[in-house]
Amino acid sequence: LVPTAENLAGEIWRRLDRRFARSSAVLSKVKLFETDDLYVEVVREER
């Protein structure tokens, strides 16, 4: 997998979201700053 900021944020999301599985809390967003002028967000889709 190419380690772009997008893919890194996606992997962080997957790892954190697993930890929330047995919790009443829900992971809603991961925000990853790569540099001062670029950031990536992974946001849970609302259903």
Partner 1 sequence: VIFATRLYRFPASHRLHSPDLSDAENARLYGKCNNPYGHGHDYLLEVTASGGNRERSGLVFRRSALDRLVADKVLSRFAYRDINRDVEQFANLVPTTENVALVVAGLLEQHWSEYLCPGAVLHRVRLRETPRNTFEVVVSAAPASELRRIPTARSSQS
Footprint of partner 1 (CB under 8 A): 1-7, 9-10, 36-43, 45
If the CB atoms of residues 16 and 43 are measured against partner 1, the closer one turns out to be 43
If the CB atoms of residues 2 and 24 are measured against partner 1, the closer one turns out to be 2
Q: Provide, rounded to whole angstroms, the least separation between the CB of residue 31 and partner 1.
A: 9
Helices (H) and strands (E) in the chain, counts: 1, 2
Q: How far apart are the first and last CA of the chain?
A: 29
If the CB atoms of residues 6 and 17 are measured against partner 1, the closer one turns out to be 6
Euclidean distance between CA atoms 5 and 40, whole angstroms = 7
Tokens of 21: 């599985």
